[in-house]
Amino acid sequence: MNIHNLIHLLILISTTTTASSFASEQPPPITNNRKTKASFLPSKLSSKMGQGISATQFFVYGRKHFTKTGYKKHVSGYTTPVQESASICRGETGADGVDLAGKVVVVTGANSGLGKEIATYAAAKGATLYMLCRSKGRAETARAEIVEKTLNENVNILLADIGELSQLREVVKDLQSKEEKVDCLVCNAGVLLNDRQETSEGNEITFAVHLLGGSYLLPTLLLPQLKSAGPESRVLFVTSGGMYRQPFPSWPVATSDQNAEKKIKYDGVNAYCYAKRAQVLLAERWAKERPEVTWVSGHPGWAATAAVDDAFGSDKKYLEPLRSTWEGAEGLTWLMSTEAKNLQSGEFYLDRKSQTKHLAGAFMTQGSYTKNTEKEVDEMIENLKKACGL
């Protein structure tokens, strides 16, 4: 397996589930400008070096922290209970003591993989659950399985392709007609494509699902309901370690704009990484601009899923031992359910701990290659706003 395919595998495994110590210290704000690198390095060479360092350290860091071995090490340091599966209900043997009765939880991409585990956990803890899914058949099958395991009948299906902004607006209106508040929104739905494809509205699909609709428009439309839920409300972006590879690029590159003056060659892995970096940036920015709600991003580690089996077969051995789907989801369910006082709004988490957001410097330091300036983030958000017609 060549290095490109290996990195592709690393990213897909960390998503379809979609210093040398386990970092918990807070990284500094994104004030570094990538243009301030040593002037004697040509920009293309500097970029290649940044990509190489970040990709290599992503793999090394991941081998230590993102695998099943890393998960077991991290769990050994937990100070509160952890259960062995998502479906253990309140009061049952092995339950972690969490009670979500009276809470309204919305999970996108909830019919399989990590999303289904997160949804199952919310139902097991007594929440009113809304599964926002694209496929009616798969959603109904998943709902039936969740209800059977948790005995919670208050599990509801919302049907929409969140990459289609018109569909998303309609389904949000439907939800708002039923609920005055939303306590937790989990932005989990995603896709990774090899070839460039567009939605019916002309947006590149990876960008539209992960970022434009799934992470920008949906939380924005639901902001009144999130605020109504009070100080414990939160939004969780299920992101990926793939974001360690890239900063958020120029808008034409991020959207793979085929009408740009300079033709942009589509790379599905890069498109995915750009969207995942943007989720981290959104959580960071909205923690400041929308402080009534807690905004966090979380990484599941490298988890085994049916999608990974189908895509890579025996090649997944390079990342073994892989986490189970529940082991990938467990830290995300903690972000969903723990008291807000235990969270740092705007931060990026793995296994209940805040992590560094950059690995592009020498010896596992942050470096500057993957950092965006405040101006670049301003431009990203303004472009997202315009693309949504807001």
Number of H helices, E strands in the chain: 14, 8
- Farthest CA pair distance, the chain: 64
Q: Which amino acid is at 73?
A: K
Name the token pair of 211: 């970022």
Helix, strand or coil for residue 225? Answer: helix
Residues contacting 347, CB < 8 A, separation 6+: 26, 283, 284, 296, 297, 354, 355
Is the separation of the CB atoms in 159 and 134 below 8 Å? Answer: yes
| Residue of 130, 272, 274, 349 marked active site | 272
Q: Establish whether 130 is a catalytic residue.
A: no
Q: How would you classify residue 247: left for phi > 0, otherwise alpha for psi between -120 and 50, otherwise beta?
A: beta
Instruction: Measure the CA–CA gap between 390 and 386, rounded to whole angstroms.
Output: 6
Q: Which amino acid is at 34?
A: R
Name the token pair of 220: 């924005």
Instruction: Count CA within 13 A, CB hemisphere, residue 360.
Output: 23
* Alpha-carbon torsion, ordered 136, 138, 141, 144, to 10 deg: -70
Name the token pair of 111: 């019919």
Is the separation of the CB atoms in 296 and 234 below 8 Å? Answer: yes
Residues contacting 116, CB < 8 A, separation 6+: 110, 142, 146
| Whether the bond into 321 is cis, omega within 30 of 0 | yes
Which residues are catalytically annotated?
272
